[in-house]
Amino acid sequence: MIFDYHHFFIKEKWFILTLKVIIQTEYEKQCSAVRLLNTVLVECCVDTANGEPVAGVTTLAGEIYLLRRKELGQVEVYDVITYRLQRYISVPNARKFTDITSCEHYHCVYIGDDIVECIHRLDGQGTMTRWAVNDEPRGISINALHNVLVTCHKVHKIKEFSSRGELLQEHIFPEDIINPWHAIQTRCGQFIVCHGDLDNSVHRVCMMSTDCSHIVHSHGGQRGSHNDEYIVPNHLAVDDNECVFVADRNNRRVTLLSPTLEYINVVVSGDQLKGNPCSLYLSSQRRRRHIYVAVNELTVDGQEMGRVAVFNV
């Protein structure tokens, strides 16, 4: 980092401005200033016989796991390189999928089901088990301890489970966190949650204290389409620098925030998505990072169709 001290002797304000610009530039580099390279759509997810709306996407061991919203009770599995359909996995007694995530440590996939009020667990040997949440699960994520965080929107809670379904602890959101969609936990234990539905006036991404009792940082406010606004921010992903990707559903975009939830830029636009994002998953394959975006869009005949868009970041 090079400082221009000449500006300091001429005028103190110029030095401060120069220093601020340099620090901001370095900071944005460290926060993985995202550039879209070689945008690729996973067309096979659209062109299969089952083009129903999607509910979530994740990857594990070189494969893409895709959930559909329709009550099919199946997970579609695609090759992460060719995007070709590999197989279907049946989920016994499933009713309505809400979200999906994966854990490399335990080599398994977790699926939320809000009618049965449970989490389905699929391990690397193909064994399917489930455990009760006893509330409707919405978003799910994995924390640094490899535990499962389940966002329960109707009771304003995060429930933390072990990989085998033991309830470890619960955190209750403050009253102003209305309609929480998805929550993730940082390495230092703070929670980041996105909240707000179409009938709510406030749409935000909030960083919560480690006990979820108060808001530390936030981005957003009254719903809208400016850079500092959202219309239904409904899913999150975080990179190694703890920069936050936000699926802004009804603005049809993915926004990147700093670790303290300051706006950096829009990394995926509506022109690129051509639909409403409902789920994000950030993955690294062969030294390249990809963000997988589950997208739903209306066709010309009014039918809702789902697909996955993949972007290099």
**What's the pLDDT at 286?**
59
pLDDT band at 130 (very low <50, low <70, confident <90, very high): very high
Q: What is the mean pLDDT of the chain?
A: 84
Residues 37-87: pLDDT tens digits? Answer: 334 443 333 333 457 889 999 999 999 999 987 766 889 999 988 889 999
Mean pLDDT of 4-23: 34
Share of the chain above pLDDT 90, in %: 68
**What's the pLDDT at 71?**
64
Instruction: Give yes or no for a contact between 236 and 190, defined as CB atoms under 8 angstroms apart.
Output: no
Instruction: Give yes or no for a contact between 308 and 57, defined as CB atoms under 8 angstroms apart.
Output: yes
Reported as type and span, the H/E element at residue 272 is helix 270-273
Instruction: Give yes or no for a contact between 203 and 220, defined as CB atoms under 8 angstroms apart.
Output: yes
Q: Which two tokens stand for residue 60?
A: 């594990």
Q: How big is the chain by its Cα radius of gyration, in Å?
A: 20
pLDDT band at 244 (very low <50, low <70, confident <90, very high): very high
**What's the pLDDT at 75?**
92
Q: Which two tokens stand for residue 86?
A: 């590999």
Instruction: Give yes or no for a contact between 83 and 45, defined as CB atoms under 8 angstroms apart.
Output: yes
Q: How far apart are CA 187 and CA 169, in angstroms?
A: 17
**Long-range pairs for 45-52: beta carbons < 8 A, 24 or more residues apart:** 45/76, 45/78, 45/83, 45/306, 45/307, 45/308, 46/305, 46/306, 46/307, 48/76, 48/85, 50/76, 51/305, 51/306, 51/307, 52/305, 52/306
Q: How far apart are CA 309 and CA 41, in angstroms?
A: 5
In sequence order, what DSSP letters do the residues of 114-158 get, joined into one string?
TTTTEEEEEETTS-EEEEE-SS----EEE-TTSPEEEEEGGGTEE
List b or e across 257-277, with b for residues whose CB sees 16 or more CB atoms inside 10 angstroms: bbbebeebebbbebebbebbb
**The CATH number fitting domain 34-312, selected from 2.120.10.30, 2.40.37.10, 3.20.20.70, 2.60.120.10:** 2.120.10.30
Q: Is the pLDDT of residue 212 over 50?
A: yes
**What's the pLDDT at 313?**
77
Instruction: Give yes or no for a contact between 53 and 71, defined as CB atoms under 8 angstroms apart.
Output: no
Q: Sign (positive/negative) of CA torsion 109, 40, 227, 305?
A: negative
Residues 250-265: pLDDT tens digits? Answer: 999 999 999 999 999 9
Least confident of 64-78, 116-130, 202-216: 64-78
